[in-house]
Structure 1
Amino acid sequence: MAEPLPTEDGVKENKLWKGVFAVSGILITLVIYGVLQEKIMRVPYGVNKEYFKYSLFLVFCNRITTSAVSAGSLVASKKALDPVAPVYKYCLVSVTNILTTTCQYEALKYVSFPVQTLAKCAKMIPVMIWGTFIMQKKYKGFDYLVAFLVTLGCSIFILFPAGTDFSPYGKGRENTVWGISLMVGYLGFDGFTSTFQDKLFKGYDMEIHNQIFYTTLCSCVLSLTGLIFQGHLLLAVDFVYRHNDCFLDIVLLSTVATASQFFISYTIRTFGALTFAAIMTTRQVPSSLSFHFLLMLYF
């Protein structure tokens, strides 16, 4: 006997629970991720008050952990490890994702957390621009109005509680041209990454772990190559070896980054890049609150 087709109310309820799962997963993991990222990059370690300066090493640790977990998930579920799209397309996502993350980490050296969080409120706008070029989507004036109002609302909230900033690289460097350029790069690369991921999911009916595995595998190779050419690999390993608490922070950061990557890919595959950008915009509110919690905890 054939199973009854789901009713319209049932479909809506199912989508609602998927939305709750996606939003709560992104908010929880990325708020924790933001706090840990701030702590690693801006809180000194050891009696000599040394700062961790190797942002690309964090990218490498995050990606190699995520790649290993996604590969294990594919094997455990007996799904093929073969790529379903041309490898260069995975690599394109990987390159822009590394540039996004690197710009974000580097910007912490030059721009205060409240300013960076404020800039992130504009996530929806670059996604709509890239969606027009990559996905040939047509947005109505109302869509742009909603994006503007969401950006404005989050910006106002962030501006009011913005308080004391701390930076190991000197207060006089906040809002420099380089810092603002890094944030513009972050927004541009981030918008392209999520939009192109959306295109891959829709164009190839791609499994979540398949995309995560190949993009993070490419990221591992690229970030490791960058570390070697910069001469930072051994320096970063030595720093972590000398500071066990930093090692534990990086392990926890990589674990949370892996979880957040799953929720991000799940959201983009299920709801699209623009919905993901809207979630990421509104999550700047709890991120701002977590920043003030970090201030009270360490200072």
Structure 2
Amino acid sequence: MAGALPTTKGVKDHKIWKGIFAVSGIMVTLVIYGVLQEKIMRVPYGLNKEYFKYSLFLVFCNRITTSAVSAVFLLASKKALVPVAPIYKYCLISVSNILTTTCQYEALKYVSFPVQTLAKCAKMIPVMIWGTFIMQKTYKGFDYLVAFLVTLGCSIFILFPVKFWSFAGTDVSPYSKGRESTVWGVSLMVGYLGYQSETYVKVPSTYSSGISSVLPLRFVCGHLLSAIDFVYGHSDCFLDIVLLSTVATVSQFFISYTIRTFGALTFAAVMTTRQLVSIMLSCVWFGHPLSWEQWIGAVIVFGSLYSKNFLKKASTNPPPLQPMQDGAPSPVKGIP
């Protein structure tokens, strides 16, 4: 019949395809992004085995690409480019975002990608601290329990690395030799977590591309020129950076689409899965064997995160309704 409403099955199938589209987009773009991060920062380029050292240049490329693509979309959709908040607020957020991403890239020189990825999960505690003191938020006991278990699992993972290398045979990074370098890498991760949690508190809405990416003059005069000279002499590095910036930009649109369509809980579950897949791929691709203690730590972290997502999703589902009683539906109690 013309003009008939879509059937329940049709709506459900349509939502399933939307889910496949969103999950595939996030998984593909961010898994590639993770692999490229580790390759650019830890694998040498060229016959002379030279390492790319310019973390801030990667941040610069990512932000420029994302900002340019976002501006094109806004202009194409004929939306106003006038900021909805004072410019100085965007600058503060931008500085925090630049610092957290720079610390993230720099840390890869000294710690492996699996360690870095697991350490990211520990941002729950700094986020809760910032939220308590700045936003005056309150958290439930279960939230503190999950944060404790995640931090415990991350600590186990970092403190009990495997004592030998397989697959590649040796650690490919020249920076991670010795205890001092490992401590410095963990210090960079602490900076990453601190700046990222601050950004989360200042921007409670969906992540949007950096409108203002103001970089220091020293970077423009020195760091930028050295980075350009390096990529000019290593075309494969240039292609990796272009692909890194591309997938970083595309991933933001998939992230925004997923949150708008399915909500933050579904997005959190997808991101947890993406982290797990990225760790497994990094272990195989770049030769990062895990000790049995690290496996336990990983199980604690991801088990806690999945439990949190599952329980929160269950608590947000409305209870089923009984048949009408006295003209009003009533919720059915769960079967004991």
TM-score by length of 1: 0.76
Q: Which amino acid is the alignment partner of residue 41 of structure 1?
A: M
In structure 1, how many angstroms separate the alpha carbons of the residues matched to 2:279 and 2:183?
23
Tell me the number of residue pairs that the alignment of Structure 1 and Structure 2 aligns. 278
Q: Which residue of 1 aligns with 2:63?
A: 63
Which structure 2 residues correspond to residues 131-280 of structure 1 after superposition, within 5 A? 131-149=131-149, 164=165, 165-173=171-179, 176-198=182-204, 211-212=208-209, 215=210, 217-219=211-213, 221-222=214-215, 225-229=217-221, 231-265=222-256, 271=263, 280=271
Task: Write the deviation string for residues 64-103 of structure 1: whole angstroms up to 9, x where unpaired.
Answer: 0000000011011111011011111111221111111110
Task: Write the deviation string for residues 91-128 of structure 1: whole angstroms up to 9, x where unpaired.
Answer: 12211111111101111122233332331221322222
Bigger helix share: 1
Q: Which residue of 2 aligns with 1:3?
A: none
Q: Is the 8 A contact 1:158 1:285 kept in 2?
A: no
Identify the range of structure 1 (76-85 vs 23-32) with the bigger mean alpha-carbon deviation: 23-32
Query: How much has 1:145 moved relative to structure 2?
Result: 1.9
Are positions 1:50 and 2:50 aligned together? yes
Task: Write the deviation string for residues 253-279 of structure 1: whole angstroms up to 9, x where unpaired.
Answer: 00011022334455677745x986675
Q: Is the 8 A contact 1:61 1:254 kept in 2?
A: yes
Taking a change above 3 Å as real, the CA distance of residues 49 and 155 of structure 1, as seen in their structure-2 partners, is same
Q: Which residue of 2 aligns with 1:289?
A: 280
Query: How much has 1:151 moved relative to structure 2?
Result: 5.4
Q: Is the 8 A contact 2:124 2:147 kept in 1?
A: yes
In structure 1, how many angstroms separate the alpha carbons of the residues matched to 2:108 and 2:255?
22
Q: Which amino acid is the alignment partner of residue 196 of structure 1?
A: K
Q: Is the 8 A contact 2:118 2:157 kept in 1?
A: no
TM-score by length of 2: 0.69
Question: Unaligned regions of 5+ residues in structure 2, if any?
Answer: 1-10, 166-170, 288-336
Q: Is the 8 A contact 1:35 1:291 kept in 2?
A: yes
Q: Which residue of 1 aligns with 2:115?
A: 115
In structure 1, how many angstroms separate the alpha carbons of the residues matched to 2:159 and 2:277?
13
Q: Secondary structure at the match of 1:232?
A: helix
Which structure 2 residues correspond to residues 76-87 of structure 1 after superposition, within 5 A? 76-87=76-87
User: Larger Cα Rg: Structure 1 or Structure 2?
Assistant: 2
Q: Which amino acid is the alignment partner of residue 113 of structure 2?
A: F
In structure 2, how many angstroms separate the alpha carbons of the residues matched to 1:17 and 1:128?
35
Question: Unaligned regions of 5+ residues in structure 1, if any?
Answer: 1-10, 202-207
Taking a change above 3 Å as real, the CA distance of residues 261 and 65 of structure 1, as seen in their structure-2 partners, is same
Q: Which amino acid is the alignment partner of residue 184 of structure 2?
A: W
RMSD: 3.8
Q: Which residue of 2 aligns with 1:204?
A: none
In structure 1, how many angstroms separate the alpha carbons of the residues matched to 2:21 and 2:283?
26
Q: Which amino acid is the alignment partner of residue 227 of structure 1?
A: F
Q: Which residue of 1 aligns with 2:125?
A: 125
